[in-house]
Chains A and B, each alone.
Chain A
Amino acid sequence: MPEERDPGEVYRPVGDWTLAGIPADAPPATWRSGGEGGIHEVAPARYARLDFSGLGRLDTAGAVRLLQVLPASTLDAVGEHLDHIGPRQLAFVEAVARALHAGCPPRRHPPSLYALMERTGRWVVAAWQPGVLLLSFVGQVLITFVRVVLHPARLRFTSVVYHMEAVGLDAVPIVSTLSFMVGAVVAFLGATILKDYGAEVFTVQLVSYSFLREFAVVLSAILLAGRSGSAFTAQIGAMKSNEEIDALRTIGVDPVEVLVVPRLIALLVMMPVLTLLSMIMGIAGGGLALIGTIDLTPGAFTARLQETTELRHFWVGISKAPVFAYIIATVGCLEGLKVSGSAESVGRHTTSSVVQSIFLVIIFDAIFAIYFIEIGL
C-alpha cells in the first residue's frame, strides 16, 4: 500500500513497477504524452516528490507511469524531485524523463478545400504518369532491342535460353491442358445450341475459327502474364531492392540490355510457339468432345476442318502473339524496375504487373479484332 505522508508532497511507491504489473492503486496520471504535440496535462498533480525507498523492481513502463504521478514541469530536472534513489536508477529515470520530454510538433493539416484540390491533382498525375512511363519504356526497350539485334555479340545467349525454358518449355503442360479443356467446353456449348437448328456440324468451324483467331493467343497471353510477367516483376524487383540494378549501372552495364532484352526475346520466340501449341490442343479438345457427343467420326472431323478452315485464320491469330509478348515483357520488367525498397513494394508491383498486362492484352486484342475485320481478313 502506498504510504501517504503529507498528501500533496511525497509519494512513496511500494513493490514492483513493471510492464507486467503496475500497482492497481497507483495515483492517476497527471499528464500524457504520445509523440505528437508533446505533453499535455490531464489532471492536477497531487504529489511533488517521489520517494524510492520502498520501490522494488522498476522498468521503463514503471518509470513512465511513476513520472506521470508528478507534474509535467518536473520532467526538466526530475533528479531534484526524487528521494532515496541510487545513482544507476537515477541515470535511468532521467533518461526516461528526457525521452518523455521529446515531443514531435503536430503536423499542420491544410484546409479541406486545398486538401481536396491537392488530392485531385495528385490523382490526375498518378493516373497520367504510369502511361507516359510505360510508353517511354516501350521505346527504350525497342531501341536497346534493335541495338542488340544489330550487334549480336551483345546478346546474352545463356540468359535468353534460360528464360526460353522458364517461360516456354515449363509452360507447355499448363497451356496445353487448359487449351484442351477450353476447346472441349466451346465444342460442347456449340454442339448443344446448334443442335436445335440441326447445324451441329458447324461446331467444327466454331472451334477452329475461335481457337485460330482468338482463344489460343489470348489464352496463352493471359497464362504467360500470370506466370512469367509476374515472375519478371518479382525477379527484377528483388534485384532492385537489393541495389543490384544500381550495381549494374555503376559497372557500366545497361540493365535494360542484360535483364529486359533477354526476357523480351525469350517471350517473343516462345509466345508464338505456345500459341501454336494452344491452337492444336484446343482443336484437339474440341474434336474429341464432338466425336463423343454428335457421332462425328475422327475422319469426318478432319475432313470438315480441312475443307472449311482457311489458313488466313491461323495468320490472324499467330500475328498477335509477338505483340502480346512485347506487352507482357515490357510491363513485367518495367514494374520490376519501379520497385522501391521493401518486400511490400515487390508484392504491389507484381500484382500491378499482372493486372496491367492482362488489361492491355485484352484491349489490344479488341483493337486487332476490329482491324482484321475491317481489312477483310
Chain B
Amino acid sequence: MSSAEPVIEVHGLVNRFADVVVHDGVDLTVRRGEILGVVGGSGAGKSVLLRSIVGLQPYAAGKVTVLGHPVSREIDTDPELQRRVGVMFQDGALFTSLTVLENVMFTIREHYPLDETFIAELAHVKIVMAGLDSCDAHLYPRELSGGMRKRAGLARALALDPELLFLDEPTSGLDPITAAAFDRLLVTLRDALDLTVFLVTHDLDTLYRTCDRVAVLADKRVLTVAPLAEIAAFDHPWVQAYFLGPRGRAAGRNQK
C-alpha cells in the first residue's frame, strides 16, 4: 500500500500459560491501509496474538504499540484507542439481551452522543453492509444462525468506522457464496475507508482474494511476512504443506 507508516508494532512478544510457551519473541509490523492475514496451525497462538495486540491478554514480555499508543502488559483497553479500533470475535460475541440493531446502536451511542434516529439509520446501514437482511436487524442473537452472528459481529466491529479492524476467523463456518461476498466487502471497505485489517484466518480463498501480506505464525514466532506469492516459495515444511497442499493449490488456481 501507499504509505509504510506502521499501525501495529510488536517486538519480542512473549506469551506463556503456566509452563506452555505460546509466543517466544514475536515481531510483527502492520502498515497503514493493508490487509494482513495471519495464518498458523491450530494452537499456534493466532488468537492469543490478536488478543495481546487488542489489550485483552496480559503478556509476559515484549512491546506492543497500536496506532502510536503503547499497549501495556496488563489488560489494557483505553476507550480513546478503542474508538479507533474494531474487533470482531470468532462467534460474534453479541450481547444476548440486545437485538442486532441495538448491539450496533449501543456501540455508537456509547462514544458519540448523536440523534437516536440517525444512530438507528447508521446502525441499519452497517448491518445491511455487513451482509445481513434488513429484517434481521430486529432479531436477537439467539435467533440467528452462526453465519449471521458473524456478520452481526462484523457490523458491530465496524460501528465506529475504525481505522484498524481485527477479525478473528471471519469466514469460518460461512458458505462459499457468503464468504466470497464477505471478502468483497472487506476490500471495498478497505479501499473506501483506508482501513487497516488484521485478519486471522484459515480460509485460503480469503487469503488469496483479500490479503496484501501474510504473516506465518509457527515455532512460537512469526516465520515470515510477505505477499502470498513469495510466501508460497518460503522454505519451511509447514508453509509448504499449507500453501502447496491440495486446498492451497486449488485456492491459488482460482485466483489465476
Contact = CB atoms under 8 A, between A and B. Distances in A.
Given A34-B124, A60-B126, A104-B135, A19 B142 contact: no
B138 A60 contact: no
Interface stretch (B3-11, B186-194, B201-209, B243-251): B186-194
A193 interface: no
Interface of A: 18-20, 32-36, 59-61, 64-65, 88-89, 91-93, 95-96, 98-100, 102-105, 340-345
Contact of B129 (A89, A99, A104): A99
A96 B125 contact: yes
A92 B122 contact: no
13 contacts: A19-B112, A19-B160, A20-B112, A34-B121, A35-B124, A60-B161, A88-B191, A89-B192, A93-B192, A95-B192, A96-B125, A99-B128, A342-B142
A343 B120 CA distance: 26
Nearest to A88: B191
A92 B192 contact: yes
A225 B193 CA distance: 56
Contact of A32 (B121, B135, B138, B192): B121
B142 A34 contact: no
Contact of A104 (B97, B137, B161): B137
Interface of B: 96-97, 101, 108, 112, 117-118, 120-122, 124-126, 128-129, 133-135, 137-138, 141-142, 158, 160-161, 185, 188-189, 191-193
Nearest to A60: B161
Contact of B161 (A59, A100, A102): A59
Contacts of A105: 135
Nearest to A341: B142
B191 A92 contact: yes
A100 B141 contact: no
A33 B142 contact: no
Contacts of A60: 122, 125-126, 129, 158, 161, 193
Contacts of A19: 108, 112, 122, 160-161
Nearest to A89: B192
Contacts of A104: 133-135, 137-138
A234 to B, nearest CB: 16
B124 A33 contact: yes
Contacts of A33: 121, 124
A4 B5 CA distance: 37
Nearest to B111: A19
Contacts of B137: 35, 104
A91 B188 contact: yes
